[in-house]
């Protein structure tokens, strides 16, 4: 899973947008899913006002630390201490399971 955090300029917000894929069995087939508009708690966050000031002044390559973002770039789900990030993962898994079950029909 990769959980992109994209800027929603219209709402001055940041939305989680997880992408994941699953490979099942020994065949090289995979299923993938992008959850573009999820509905889990805190999928959308509204950064403090100074976030947008820093973002416009600093340029696109800089990072503003948000408490909703994981501290590490990778790791296991059990290491995630941020509920909205876990919810994004489980929502993605639910979608992937649907795709896998439909492919088995």
**Burial annotation 44-74 (CB, 10 A radius, 16+ → b, else e):** bbebeeebeeeeeeeeeeeeeeeebeeeeee
Structure confidence at residue 61 (pLDDT): 46
> What distances in angstroms separate CA 74 from CA 21, 48, 65, one per listed residue?
16, 26, 16
Answer for the pair 42, 31: CB distance below 8 angstroms, yes or no: no
pLDDT greater than 90 at residue 83:
no
Q: Is the pTM of this model over 0.75?
A: no
Structure confidence at residue 82 (pLDDT): 80
pLDDT greater than 60 at residue 70:
yes
| Residue 1 included in any domain | no
| Residue 34 included in any domain | no
Which domain, by its residues, includes 45? 41-67+84-105
| Residue 99 included in any domain | yes
Q: What is the number of structural domains in the chain?
A: 1
Structure confidence at residue 44 (pLDDT): 92
pLDDT greater than 80 at residue 40:
yes
Residue 59's pLDDT band (cuts 50, 70, 90): low
């Amino acid at each position: 899973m990769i959980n992109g955090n994209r800027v929603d300029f219209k709402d001055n917000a940041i939305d989680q947008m997880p992408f994941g894929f699953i490979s099942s069995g020994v065949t090289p087939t995979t299923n993938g899913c992008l959850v573009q508009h999820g509905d889990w708690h805190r999928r959308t966050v509204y950064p403090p006002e100074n976030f947008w000031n820093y973002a416009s002044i600093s340029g696109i390559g800089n990072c503003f630390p948000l408490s909703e973002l994981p501290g590490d770039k990778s790791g296991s789900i059990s290491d995630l201490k941020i509920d909205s990030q876990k919810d994004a993962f489980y929502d993605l898994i639910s979608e992937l399971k649907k795709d896998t079950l439909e492919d088995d029909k």
